Each structure stands twice: as C-alpha cells, then as structure tokens.
Amino acid sequence: MSAMLDIRGLKKAYRRKAALRGIDLAVEEHEILALLGPTGAGKSSTLLAAAGLVEPDAGTIRLAGRDVTGAEASSRDVSIVFEGFNLLPVLNVRDNIAFALRSPKYREAEAEIARRVGRTAELLRIAHLLDRDTGTLSGGERQRVSIARALVRRPLLYLLDEPLSALDLKLREGLRAELRQIHREHGTTMLYATHDYHGAIAIADRIAIIDEGRILQTGTIEAIYARPAEAFVGRLVGSPSMAFFEAELRDGGLLVKGFGAPLALSRFGRLAAANGPVTLGVWPEDIVVGEEGEPGRVYAVDNRGYEVAIQIETPAGSFRKVLEGRRPVGQGDTIRVRIGEGAGFLFDATSGARVSHQGERA
Ligand SMILES: Nc1ncnc2c1ncn2[C@@H]1O[C@H](COP(=O)(O)OP(=O)(O)OP(=O)(O)O)[C@@H](O)[C@H]1O
C-alpha cells in the first residue's frame, strides 16, 4: 500500500532558525494520523508545507504518489483547516461553505451544492446559522463554519491544524465524534495536528510524535506504549504521562536514587550500556501505591469526585498518578510505591534515547 501523503527529509528554516529538521512522515490512505507535539514543535510548518503554503528548503512531498514538492498550492487536492479562521467576510455562512464547490475547479450543480452544504451544516450543527453574516458569529461558531468549509469538499487529504482548539469541552468531544463519523462514511484521509494527547488518541488511528522539528516515533498508541522510543515520548503521551526516576546501572543491577534494593536488570532485556547514569521511565499505571515498597510523599491531590489525581514525590523524582476512590490519600501523607513486575524502560540520562530492549530480539 502506498501512502496518500509521503513526506521525506523535509527541512525548513525561518530566518536561519531551523523549524523542521528532516521530517519523515507517511499518512496512509483512509487513515487519520495525529501529529502530536508541544507548541513550536513544527506541526503547522509541516501541514503548511504539505498544502504548498510554505516552501521547504529540502525534502520531498508526494501526494497520492505524485511528487508535489514544487507544485502550486491550488494544484494540490488538499483541504486545510487552521487555528486562525479562513472565512470570507463578505459572504454569509452558506456561501462560505459553498465557495469551493462553486469554483471553476469543481463547478458542482447548484442542487448538489445545496445538498452537500445542508448535510455538512447539519453534521456540524450550524444549519441554523446558514443565513447569518460570518461577522456576527461567536469564536466557536466561526470555527465550526471553517471546518464545514473544508469538509464539504472531498479532497485526497484533509490537513487539520488544532481544528477544535477554540471550542469548549462538550463541543470538542462532539465534533471529534463527528469527524470520525465523516471518516467512517467517506474513508477520508486526515493529518490532524494537535498538542492535546486526549484529542489525538480519541480521533487517530496512529500517532506521530513531533518535537523540535523531528518525528520521534510513529505508531498506534498501543505500540508507542509498549516501546516508547525516547524519554520525551513518555512525557507527551499517557494520562498522566510517564514517571521518571534518576537511576544508575551498576554491577548488574539498577540502583534507583533513594530506593532500598536495586532492581534486577533481567526485566529490561538487552541493554546498550553496562554501567552509568540512566533514567528509569515507568507508566503510572504500572506503579502500585500502597503499604509496600519505597517511601514517597503525597505532594498534591486533585479531587475528581470518583477518583483523585495525585502527585507523589520520591527521592528519585516526582510523578502523577490517578487513584480510584473518593479520598484514598490526603495531601502530605507518607505512602509506599512499588514498580510493578516487569514494568519500566531505561533511557540514556543525557540524550533520552531508550537503552533497554525488553520484548525485542537481540
Ligand atoms: N513565519 C514564521 N517566521 C518565523 N518563524 C516561524 C514562522 N512560522 C513558524 N516559525 C517558528 O518555527 C517553529 C515551528 O513553528 P510551528 O508553527 O510549525 O510549530 P507548531 O508545532 O505548529 O506550534 P503551535 O502548536 O504553537 O502552533 C517555531 O519555533 C516558530 O516560532
């Protein structure tokens, strides 16, 4: 299967400051790929380059097998939704949504346009706004109209850049479900940029993690959980994200700062280094909080009614974890933590690259 969008070695600098440092990214046909990364990671630049709105310094971009690296934006069959709004102020909502369908490129029949606009407006719950002036809309309404403008077309690829950021939680969840519904019905292909982990896993088939202009890892969320490529991946995924502990490989064991007994190394599989400082990363779900194990202190408690999110401090590092129950622990409590059997990954203390290889063949 060839990719719908295939980006190789994409580089871009703005005023000699590198924003993209060799992006490799493939979006398969009919998939939703989330591009997940913190602010300034290069998400928008990647999408703009794919749309032909930013000229790359190096690399190639292929769309449905065709090399479009130097091609005009208008010749690429993509639809883009940006954080900023792209509405035409002189047209009402209906004509904004219909705009692309009336362009010389599409020139759909008016009856077909009316049908598509009506259906899309219904999906996005803006049917009651169709005759309104775009200038009179709220931020959330404008964003929905903007998404409708993109979705009314059937391009090869949708590029969505934080499309739901201006919406409140309920609307955001509703729209996410609707985007997935449109995806199911039409087998669309989407590249969806976001800094929101929950949003990414809720909508995407696969996730590509981006930081400082590089893709750190691409895969299903299960695959990323099973084998995070770098410590930074653990910081970006999970809810809460990965717990990190300062540790040291010494004499065939792992000494974790402040822990009584060393951890056996067998759990970590093949190791790249024999001795020296490492970072132990553990998914919070694999840390047991209770009566046994190493000492820790509850630093903060965030009550959520039926569960609590707590921050726990240990001599080797602090981490967040969710516990069930109304008030299982209180702020300032001394507790014990135990790292579950076979859990944890080791990362290079400086570069953050994973140095343990559990579950992988030597
Ligand atoms: N037109 C521009 N001129 C100068 N620098 C830019 C320009 N566009 C982006 N940058 C810089 O390039 C880097 C990547 O920006 P980009 O907008 O692609 O990141 P992002 O991941 O989309 O961030 P955000 O989530 O904040 O939108 C940042 O350091 C940004 O400041």
Query: Per-residue pLDDT for 319 more than 60?
Result: yes
Q: What HEC string does 182-221 produce?
A: HHHHHCCCEEEEECCHHHHHHHCCEEEEEECCEEEEEECH
CB contact set of 28 (below 8 Å; sequence gap of 6+) = 1, 3, 4, 189
For residue 20, which atom of ligand 1 is closest to its CA?
14
pLDDT in tens, 251-284: 888 999 888 888 888 888 888 777 889 999 999 9
Query: Per-residue pLDDT for 61 more than 60?
Result: yes
Distance CA 94, CA 114 (A): 9
The mean-pLDDT minimum among 150-154, 190-194, 227-231 falls in: 150-154
pLDDT interval class at 359 (50, 70, 90): low
- Alpha carbons within 13 A on the beta-carbon side of 300: 8
Ligand 1 centroid–CA 343 distance in Å is 37
Query: Per-residue pLDDT for 238 more than 70?
Result: yes
Task: List the alpha helices (DSSP H) in the chain.
Answer: 43-51, 93-102, 110-123, 139-151, 169-186, 197-203, 221-226, 231-236
What residue spans define the domains of the chain?
Answer: 3-226, 231-357
Closest Cα to residue 298, out of 327, 332, 321? 332
Residue having the nearest C-alpha atom to atom 9 of ligand 1: 45
Residue having the nearest C-alpha atom to atom 26 of ligand 1: 39
Ligand 1 centroid–CA 213 distance in Å is 10
Q: Is the CB of 20 under 6 A from ligand 1?
A: no
Q: Is the CB of 321 under 6 A from ligand 1?
A: no
Q: What is residue 322's predicted lDDT score, i.e. its pLDDT? A: 93
Distance CA 292, CA 289 (A): 8
More confident residue, 90 or 50: 50
Distance CA 67, CA 187 (A): 23
Ligand 1 pocket mutation, candidates 44, 81, 160, criterion most atoms within 8 A of CB: 44
Ligand 1 centroid–CA 21 distance in Å is 13
The CATH number given to 3-226 is 3.40.50.300
For residue 54, which atom of ligand 1 is closest to its CA?
1
According to CATH, the superfamily of the domain at 231-357 is Nucleic acid-binding proteins (2.40.50.140)
- 102 in Cβ contact with 148 (< 8 Å): no
φ/ψ of residue 343, rounded to 5: -85, 160
User: Percentage of residues in the chain with pLDDT exceeding 70?
Assistant: 98
Q: What is residue 175's predicted lDDT score, i.e. its pLDDT? A: 81
Phi-psi map region of 149: left, alpha, beta (phi>0 left; psi -120 to 50 alpha): alpha
Across 166-187, average pLDDT: 82
* Three-state secondary-structure class, residue 108: coil
Q: Is the CB of 208 under 6 A from ligand 1?
A: no
Ligand 1 centroid–CA 60 distance in Å is 20
The secondary structure element, H or E, covering residue 142 is: helix 139-151
- 356 in Cβ contact with 308 (< 8 Å): no
For residue 41, which atom of ligand 1 is closest to its CA?
21
Find tokens 């705009």 and name the residue: 99
Across 122-132, average pLDDT: 91
Query: Per-residue pLDDT for 287 more than 80?
Result: yes
Ligand 1 centroid–CA 43 distance in Å is 8
For residue 193, which atom of ligand 1 is closest to its CA?
22
Ligand 1 centroid–CA 352 distance in Å is 24
Structure tokens belonging to residue 229: 């490529």
In the chain, the amino acid numbered 123 is L
Ligand 1 pocket mutation, candidates 10, 11, 12, 14, criterion most atoms within 8 A of CB: 14
In the chain, the amino acid numbered 231 is A
Query: Per-residue pLDDT for 345 more than 80?
Result: yes
pLDDT in tens, 17-51: 999 999 999 999 999 999 999 999 999 999 999 99
Q: Is the CB of 38 under 6 A from ligand 1?
A: no
Distance CA 148, CA 10 (A): 30
